[in-house]
Copies of this chain bind each other. A is one copy, B any other.
């Protein structure tokens, strides 16, 4: 089984390695624009073949995994719909947003090609092939989006050795949940860091006094700017809705504080405590 993995970053390389370890007959064709990454993929035995051009190897693929930044996944899907592919090929992706990816796959799917949108809630702050970890996906929720049960089953079967927690959902539900669980927290954390940089200018000693609360709340403010530009732009509507909801909350608390209304301030934090405790039971 020839499995083409386009993009050997942390997610793509880890997924390729986990599949290779779990599937005896898996032949990995690693594709990346970075020649050093390809050399490394050969050296460590991750890839059986390498190429810098997805479309040079796509025609012979049984499976194509698109693991690049999302805007490139979208571009690749459009181009693949005009490529000469095996009629039995299964295409999937690893992008963090699904609506725009599913829209881009529409032509392929209409042509009868099997496509399943995929997204694992896994990954670290690291990046690149050297961040690869065959156990990165262990127990991770793995969202699957397709209206075709046979295609869903083929992908589940391909990834069966990875100990994933598969979640079949729709692109819309996925993106709404991600806007709240992932996109908004990154915006919130980065905004807090950027706001604090103004105070930092007046009080350079500020970070020395940071306790766990500040450190935890700002941690993902250090995330990769290019990746988050890509994610937010491809999940714009759901993220803007989440920002609106969030701004209303900030404003509610601000008004309560302006009015010095202790009951409203208390209720705001009491509601948060209650919800956080309820959520924690399911974390």
Chain A residues in the interface with B (C-beta under 8 A) = 121-123, 141, 143, 167, 173, 176-177, 179-182, 184-200, 202-203, 205-226, 228-229, 232-233, 236, 239-240, 242-243, 245-254, 257-258, 260, 262, 265-273, 275-283
Contact = CB atoms under 8 A, between A and B. Distances in A.
Contacts of A242: 195, 199
Contacts of A206: 177, 180-181, 279
A246 B143 CA distance: 33
Contact of A191 (B180, B209, B240, B249): B249
A196 B269 CA distance: 14
A275 B193 contact: yes
A138 to B, nearest CB: 14
A90 B189 CA distance: 41
Contact of A257 (B141, B236, B282): B236
- This chain: how many copies in the complex? 2
13 contacts: A122-B211, A123-B211, A177-B206, A181-B196, A181-B213, A194-B275, A195-B242, A207-B280, A221-B276, A222-B280, A228-B269, A229-B269, A236-B257
Contact of A196 (B198, B203, B239, B275): B275
Contacts of A196: 180-181, 184, 275, 279
A273 B253 CA distance: 27
Contacts of A180: 195-196, 199, 206
Contact of A186 (B213, B224, B280): B213
Contacts of A249: 190-192, 194-195
Contact of A197 (B190, B200, B233, B275): B275
B181 A209 contact: yes
The dominant DSSP class at the A interface is helix
Contacts of A188: 188, 191-192, 217, 250
A272 B216 contact: no
A243 B254 contact: yes
Contacts of A251: 247
A228 to B, nearest CB: 5
